[in-house]
Amino acid sequence: MKIAAVVATVVAVHAAESEESAAAQANPIRKVVTMLQTMQKKVEAEGEKQKELFDKFMCYCKNSGGDLATSIADAETKVSELPSAVEEAEGQLGQLKEDLKKAQTDRAAAKAAIAEATAIREKEAGEFAGVSTDLKTNIAAVGKAIAALEKGAGGAFLQTQAAQTLKNLVENDSKMLDVDRDDLTSFLSSDASYAPQSGAITGILKQMSDTMTASLNDATASENDSIKTFDELVSSKNKEIDALTAAVETKTTQIGELGVQIVQMKEDLSDAGESLLEDKKFLADLEKNCAIKEKEWAVICKTRSEELLALADTIKILNDDDALEMFKKTLPGASASLMQVKVSSSSMREQALAVLQAARGEKKSDRQRIDYIMLAIRGKKFGFDKVIKMIDNMVELLGSEQQDDNDKKEYCEMQLDNADDKKKGLERDVSKLEAAIETSKETITTLAGEIKALGDGIAALDKQVAEATEQRKEENSDYTTLMANDAAAKDILAFAKNRLNKFYNPKLYKPPAASFVQVSAHKQLDAPPPAPEAPGAYEKKGEESGGVIAMIDSLVKDLDTEMTEAETEEKLAQEEYEELMADSAQKRAADSKSITTKEGEKADTETALSEQSETHKSTSKELMATLEYIQSLHADCDWLLKYFDMRKEARAGEIDSLKKAKAVLSGADFSLVQTKAKKFLRH
């Protein structure tokens, strides 16, 4: 069955019924009362909705006011505490920078101490090597002389290099007794045939050997002590350097982190101040608006009560028994056209219902649409000394400046590296949060759309149910009225027929009920008109009366048929209505449950979005603070890093020039220095 055919059938039925409705008039007072009752229900329904909205608004006033007061108190506490926190952090930052500077200075001093100790150690080692070599050479020469003398080969010894070495030693030994020097010099200067007759020379030589051996031992012991002391000093200083290096790294990191924190705290202070002002203004507006709404609500309640009272009084007046009695006398009643229903309208309605019944499918949605149509048929982030002193001071100053540059370069490189790593990590976090926020927003929008669609569907379903219910009430009312009218018509026809039978068919006559008897008796008390002239014998119109009675019987039969058909239609309409209500209730419950589920998902997503937004805000602020800190580092470090090597080279050249100048002022002969250096290289 195509929908076009169904629509055509419905149109045809309504066209037929429109002709019939033109012939009948509804009770105007009932329309007025119905309109008043509809207005009364509408006012009450609007009152319930407004009461729900007012309760929600006042709940919002109470809860939001409390939350705002807490937020304002927290913001005031934060605004009062943050300046001291910033001041304390800046104090800590200053102390950390001083500590860092001291650690760097101490580390440089430790390194300088090692370098100085190393230079001294190398100098001592060189001196020891020279002394040790000379002593060993001399001891060897003395030993050879003693051995030669003891063997009687003194003449042969005097021809050796050792004898020449011993001679030089004797000539240069200032501590030797002159007597001994003369004896040894005489011995060493004699010819090869010299042979001493006593051991005096040998004794002197042995004494010299012992003295030199003792001196060598003392020098060796002293060298060993110096080596041990040097090793201990270097070990101690290396440990100190390691500790200071660790301290420098730790404090550098702490300075970087604290610098970012200070920037963040300052931004937080600014944000908290702005938020505090906004919250105070919002709270003042909220309190004002809530007070206004309370006053407005009192007026609304009073006005609604007055309106409902007026409607109730009006309905009572119109429904008063005396008024109804008066309306019956003054207003036109329902016409008897109920009995004049055209056969074409009834049969077309039946055909339409039969067609729609055949068009109903198995799906509830299909049945609902068809049922609704069927119901419609039945009715909606100076002097040289001073100059030399000045040179020394200048060299020291340049060294200090270079150390400062070294320290600052180390600090800058470490800070820039750490800050850049932190920036990249924060940028990744911000990117991920932005993606998550976008996803949450899309989810919320989707859920909101689905919730709205379901809500609109429920509203449409409720409207359809309300319209169907109203139609069902109207149909039932029409059915009740029809049955009452038909029953009354049947009573009247039966009364008329009985009256005819009284006259025409006395045997079929049935005495009327007492009320009717009284009415008849009452009517019989009226004075009859004057009697006319006596006519002839009255002849009963038996045949005519038979035709009238037959017509009355036919009318009663038609009324019975109409009542039977009305009962059948009422039963079918009620069944269809109950099925429509059941299907609608089931669909409404399912849609309401779906809305509740989606609203829960939407609330969870909104909570997640709020948390993501707060995290994104704090991460973005930290990123902005880090970027500002990096910018401040570049402003403080870029020039030094760019010109560090040039400055170091220039400063080293300047220091070298100053040292050469000092050496010249001190009388140094650079050519001698160069000659010694060349001799040293040849050795």
Cα–Cα–Cα angle for 464, 467, 472, rounded to 5 degrees: 120
| 613 pLDDT tier (thresholds 50, 70, 90) | very high
Compare 303 and 476 and report the one with higher pLDDT: 476
Model confidence over 321-330: pLDDT tens digits? 766 665 565 5
Cβ neighbourhood burial of 545 (10 Å; 0-12, 13-18, 19+): middle
What value does the mean pLDDT take over residues 402-426? Answer: 89
What value does the mean pLDDT take over residues 415-434? Answer: 91
- CB neighbour list of residue 158: distance below 8 Å, 6 or more residues apart: 188, 190, 191, 192, 194
Closest CA relative to residue 50, chosen from 290, 305, 297: 297
Out of 337-351, 471-485, 611-625, which region has the weakest mean confidence (pLDDT)? 337-351
H or E element at residue 374: helix 364-377
Supply the pTM of this predicted model.
0.47
In percent, the amount of the chain with pLDDT more than 90 equals: 15
Same fold, 19-23+34-324 and 370-521+544-665: yes
What value does the mean pLDDT take over residues 634-648? Answer: 89
DSSP 432-488: HHHHHHHHHHHHHHHHHHHHHHHHHHHHHHHHHHHHHHHHHHHHHHHHHHHHHHHHH
The architecture CATH gives domain 19-23+34-324: Orthogonal Bundle (1.10)
- CB neighbour list of residue 105: distance below 8 Å, 6 or more residues apart: 403
DSSP 62-116: HHHHHHHHHHHHHHHHHHHHHHHHHHHHHHHHHHHHHHHHHHHHHHHHHHHHHHH
- CA-derived radius of gyration, the chain: 64
Model confidence over 267-310: pLDDT tens digits? 788 887 887 888 788 878 877 888 888 888 888 888 878 777 77
CA 451 to chain centre: 23
What value does the mean pLDDT take over residues 225-232? Answer: 91
Domain boundaries, the chain: 19-23+34-324, 370-521+544-665
Checking if the pLDDT of 442 tops 90, the result is yes
C-alpha pair distances (Å), 607 with each of 327, 604, 674: 64, 5, 83
pLDDT at site 238: 92
User: What mean pLDDT is reported for the chain?
Assistant: 75
Checking if the pLDDT of 217 tops 80, the result is yes
Q: State the Cα–Cα distance between residues 678 and 550, nearest whole angstrom.
A: 165
Model confidence over 92-109: pLDDT tens digits? 889 988 988 888 899 899
Checking if the pLDDT of 49 tops 80, the result is yes
Compare 382 and 70 and report the one with higher pLDDT: 70
What value does the mean pLDDT take over residues 238-244? Answer: 91
Q: State the Cα–Cα distance between residues 164 and 158, nearest whole angstrom.
A: 8
Checking if the pLDDT of 481 tops 70, the result is yes
pLDDT at site 51: 83
pLDDT at site 334: 42
pLDDT at site 374: 55
> Do 595 and 449 touch, CB atoms closer than 8 A?
no
Fold topology of 370-521+544-665:
Helix Hairpins (1.10.287)
Checking if the pLDDT of 568 tops 90, the result is yes
pLDDT at site 20: 45
Out of 51-55, 494-498, 601-605, which region has the weakest mean confidence (pLDDT)? 494-498
Out of 121-130, 224-233, 311-320, 558-567, which region has the weakest mean confidence (pLDDT)? 311-320
What value does the mean pLDDT take over residues 563-585? Answer: 91
Model confidence over 515-557: pLDDT tens digits? 433 433 334 334 344 434 334 333 444 444 466 677 778 888 8
pLDDT at site 682: 37
What value does the mean pLDDT take over residues 343-351? Answer: 52
Answer positive or negative: Cα dihedral of 287, 290, 294, 295: positive
pLDDT at site 194: 47
Checking if the pLDDT of 570 tops 60, the result is yes
In percent, the amount of the chain with pLDDT more than 70 equals: 69
pLDDT at site 523: 40
Checking if the pLDDT of 469 tops 70, the result is yes
Compare 2 and 485 and report the one with higher pLDDT: 485
- Phi and psi angles of residue 530, each rounded to the nearest 5 degrees, phi first: -60, 145
At 137, the amino acid letter reads T
